[in-house]
Structure 1
Amino acid sequence: MAIDLTLVPLPDVIETLDYETILNEMVADFKERWAKVRETKPELPAYNVEMLETDPVKIVIEAFAYRELLWRARANQVARAVMLATATGTDLDNFAADFGMTRRIIGYSITGNPVYESDEEYRQRRNLAPDGYAAAGPEDAYRYYAWSADGSIKQVKAIKGENNRCDVILLGREGDGTVSQDVVTKVYDALSPKARRPLTDNVYVRSATIVSQAIRVKVTAQTGPDVSTTVAKAKASIQDYASSRSAIGTVLRADGIIAAAHNGNALESVVVIEPATDVDPGKYGTVYVPEVIVEVA
């Protein structure tokens, strides 16, 4: 079963960088070395002017401290590049290539160039890849093959029930998330080979049930020179929250709408008018928010 990579802590090999710490360590190292030299050559002056920004020794040490900071940052980048939880770009491409994977094309730009899936989606698929080798029909194996079948698929959820039934629910990335019958058929065909599912499994593929729900809130803004900017930021925050809840089986919560509106915005109060209560789409559904309206009290 694939683990949640967001819960994996960063390894100790990735260090927290601090320029001042590196600088102070290098100054202390130099002073110790200089003191040993003066033991054999006492005529040399003591070094006690490290606080002067014009001191040549301090300037050289600052330059080397900064270069060491850059090298340590590079070491952190190299470490991140070889871990699934943190690899990005072509580093992630090479990581996934171990399982014979490539990025899905999810669309085309206005100039006709292919648009590829994001690092996050690719990372999640790569995380599911080992389950694809299982012959017992685990849920994550169905998710992996279904998700890889077509670039228009944003999310897949596999739900196993009684009598060997397995429902594979698809959410599209375009419009309200409804998946076309052609894509449903394509996914079903991808799950049909005997090597990918047990003969006793009854697999049903369908688009997620879309629950359309607009959001309307009334806010009281704090006194300030630009209420319209505050309202616009609140609306953007709510839209981001709604997008984050656009997932199969995920509840759109009124408290979440209020928290999103308040997030970093100068608002006295937020009242949710629509929806009147939390919106639960059920385990086969997804909440789609076509519109966010923010009214000023």
Structure 2
Amino acid sequence: MNLEQLPDISFVDDDVEKTLNNIITVYEAAEGRRLLPGDPVRLFLLAITQIIVQQRVLINHVKKMDHLKYAFGNFLDHIGARSETNRLAASPAQTTVKFTLSAPRPSAITIPVGTRITGSGSQLFFITKGVAEILPGSLTVDVPCECVQAGTVGNGFLPGQLDTLVDLIPFVATVQNITSSAGGAERESDDSYRERIRTAPEGFSTAGPEGAYQHWAKTASPAIVDVGVSSPSDAVVQVVPLLAGGAPPSQDILDAVAGALNDRRIRPLTDKVVVKAPTMKSFSIEFTYWISRERAAEATAIQAAVIQAVNDYMLWQKSKLGRDINPSELIRRVMVAGASRVNVVKPIFTEVNTSEIATASAPNVTYGGMADD
């Protein structure tokens, strides 16, 4: 069951009026007299009631922290400890860098671990994750690297942008990243961590259920927000991770997921795990919208809100694997932004499978002007 579907709970009654009435009723019964609104005793009891209610609110708040739906921060970490599900720390961006010699050498050239690479004008450094060698007679070697600073700050360096060798190595003429840097993520958020704790029991099984593969795949990086699992053929398990913001995973992230899932304590012996990036299912956005004449004074703000609604829709559409292309959601968001009428030409409803994400091209949005209701 989804946590949001669980009914709300409370442990003590924190209603101010009910608490005050109970206190006054008990006092009047004990003293045998009525407390009128201006009675000093009634005012004193009102002050006492406020203290009692505040304590009850605090009791409810603290007690709810024992439950997964309400816990946050360190309270959530304690709940995660019950199932040995630790919060994922911030992770650095990953990329692969090609080291190229000026000419083949008769002996191997060692690329030490921790060798630093950066880009022109950048203050960020990437370092090699392990020792590598350019073998005798060879010119190049591809080396996995990671950003020295954890978090999203290292994401987004396109191939060729990391091209400066900081720690010089004899005979190395050029360096260049050959993959876009990706996979950097901040410390796991409460919402993401809460969902992993909820699904942690799936990982207790050794039979390889879908939920177990999803759970363990997400442990590879806090940047992973969704995982598609399918079996295209007997004994083959296809795992498709998706990063935050609908970004496709880099090869480094795919390798990290494969490494996590192929642990002998996790993968059933007979399963062959294939980790691949999601397939992009492209679609177009084209519509015209109108604004009610009664809201003419708000027209400029509404137009800006509509553009933002379209951008939010595009992000929503690609932020989950297998999310069908849904023009009704687009219409809803544009209407909420302030449009009085929307005529959508594209997209049309299209089903998307669990290994695909729907990505939109540049939207074609036309403002049709003012219209009577």
TM-score bin, normalised by smaller chain: 0.7 to 0.9
Q: Who is 2:65 aligned against?
A: 81
Residues 214 and 80 from structure 1, CA distance in 2 versus in 1: closer, same or farther, beyond 3 angstroms? farther
Residues 295 and 89 from structure 1, CA distance in 2 versus in 1: closer, same or farther, beyond 3 angstroms? farther
Q: How much does 1:116 deviate?
A: 1.2
SS at match of 1:211: strand
| 1:89-133 Cα deviation digits (max 9, x unpaired) | 1111121123151234255376xxx83121111111112222222
TM-score, with structure 1 as normaliser: 0.82
Q: How much does 1:143 deviate?
A: 0.9
Larger proportion of strand: 2
Deviates more, 1:90-99 or 1:215-224: 215-224
Q: Who is 1:24 aligned against?
A: 21
Q: How much does 1:59 deviate?
A: 2.2
User: 5 Å matches for 1:57-136?
Assistant: 57-98=41-82, 99-105=84-90, 108=151, 115-136=186-207
Q: Who is 2:237 aligned against?
A: 166
- In structure 1, distance between residues paired with 2:288 and 2:66: 48
Identity %: 24
Q: How much does 1:241 deviate?
A: 4.3
Q: Contact 2:228 / 2:239 at 8 angstroms: preserved in 1?
A: yes
SS at match of 2:53: helix
Match status 1:189 vs 2:186 = no
Larger proportion of helix: 1
SS at match of 1:166: strand
| 1:7-47 Cα deviation digits (max 9, x unpaired) | 22234x44674322322332323222221xxxxxxxxxx43
* 1:33 maps to which of 30, 34, 59: 30
Residues 205 and 255 from structure 1, CA distance in 2 versus in 1: closer, same or farther, beyond 3 angstroms? same
Q: Could you tell me which runs of 5 or more consecutive residues in structure 2 were left unpaired when the two chains were aligned.
A: 92-149, 154-184, 369-373
Q: How much does 1:216 deviate?
A: 4.1
Q: How much does 1:161 deviate?
A: 4.5
Q: How much does 1:187 deviate?
A: 0.8
Q: Who is 1:248 aligned against?
A: 321
Q: Contact 2:89 / 2:187 at 8 angstroms: preserved in 1?
A: yes
Query: RMSD between aligned alpha carbons?
Result: 2.6
TM-score, with structure 2 as normaliser: 0.66
- Count matched residues: 276
Deviates more, 1:22-31 or 1:236-245: 236-245
Q: Could you tell me which runs of 5 or more consecutive residues in structure 1 were left unpaired when the two chains were aligned.
A: 36-45
- In structure 2, distance between residues paired with 1:235 and 1:68: 49
Q: How much does 1:214 deviate?
A: 5.1
Of the two, which has the highest radius of gyration?
2
Q: Contact 2:284 / 2:360 at 8 angstroms: preserved in 1?
A: yes
- In structure 2, distance between residues paired with 1:279 and 1:61: 63
